[in-house]
Amino acid sequence: MKHWRFINCLAIFCLSVLMLSCSTENAVVGSIGVSDVKSSGCKASASLLDSRPEYYNSFVGQKSVLRLSFGADNIVNGRFEDFMDNCAIDLFHVGVSSSEGKIILALYPDKDMMTNCLCRYDVDFKMQNVVSGNYQLEVYHTTADKQISKDNMIYSGTVNLEKGKEVVLTMSR
C-alpha cells in the first residue's frame, strides 16, 4: 500500500511538471517580437503646393499594402509598401504586441515634422515566434508618440498565416 501511494504521488508530480513545462513553452512561443526594421528613402513625392492637382490627387489616392510572408523558424517577413508620410522622415519603426490570437502592428516615424509634401516609403521588418494559424490583425500608422486609436487604424481583419504563403493586405490609406 505504501508503494502504491508513493507511485501515485510521483505520477501526479510528473504530470504537474509536464503541464507546467508545456504552458511555459506556449508562453515563449506566443511572445511575438520585431527585428531587422529597414526603411527606404523617399521613393516618390508630391506636394499640394508644387504638384499638378491631378498628379497630387492620384498620388494621395493610391493605397498602400502590407505583405506578410511566413518563412522558416516561425519568422514572418513583413513589408509596408508605398506608405505615405511627411517628406522629412528619416527612419520608421515597427512595434508589435500580441495576445490570445490577436496581433497589433504599429508603424511610426522616428520624429514628427510638418512639411508641405508627402513621400512614399517601404518599411521591411521581421516578426519572430509566430505560430501558423488565424489571427485577428490590427494595423496602425501613428505619429512618433506611438499612440494608437481608431483614427490611425489602417487595417482590421482576420489573416491566415501559413508557412510558405504570402498574404497581401490593402490598407485603408
131: Cα separation from own chain's centroid: 14
Query: Are 70 and 130 contacting, i.e. CB atoms less than 8 angstroms apart?
Result: yes
Per-residue model confidence as pLDDT tens digits over 83-118: 999 998 889 999 999 988 999 999 999 988 788 899
pLDDT for 8 equals 46
Per-residue model confidence as pLDDT tens digits over 107-147: 999 988 788 899 999 999 999 999 999 999 999 999 999 89
Per-residue model confidence as pLDDT tens digits over 147-171: 999 999 999 999 999 998 999 999 9
Average of per-residue pLDDT values in the chain? 83
Per-residue model confidence as pLDDT tens digits over 65-75: 999 999 888 89
Per-residue model confidence as pLDDT tens digits over 12-41: 443 343 343 333 333 334 589 999 999 998
d(CA 37, CA 19): 36
pLDDT for 9 equals 43
pLDDT for 62 equals 92
pLDDT for 149 equals 92
Q: What is the 3-state secondary structure (H, E, C) of the chain?
A: CHHHHHHHHHHHHHHHHHHHHHHHHHHHHCCCEEEEEEECCCCEEEECCCCCHHHHHHHHHCCCEEEEEECHHHCEEEEEEEEEEECCCCCEEEEEEEECCEEEEEEEECCCCCCCEEEEEEEEEEEECCCCEEEEEEEEECCCCCCCCHHHEEEEEEEEECECCEEEEECCC
pLDDT for 30 equals 52
Closest CA to 144 of 85, 61, 96, 100: 85
C-alpha cell at 152: 490611425
pLDDT for 88 equals 85
d(CA 166, CA 101): 19
pLDDT for 80 equals 96
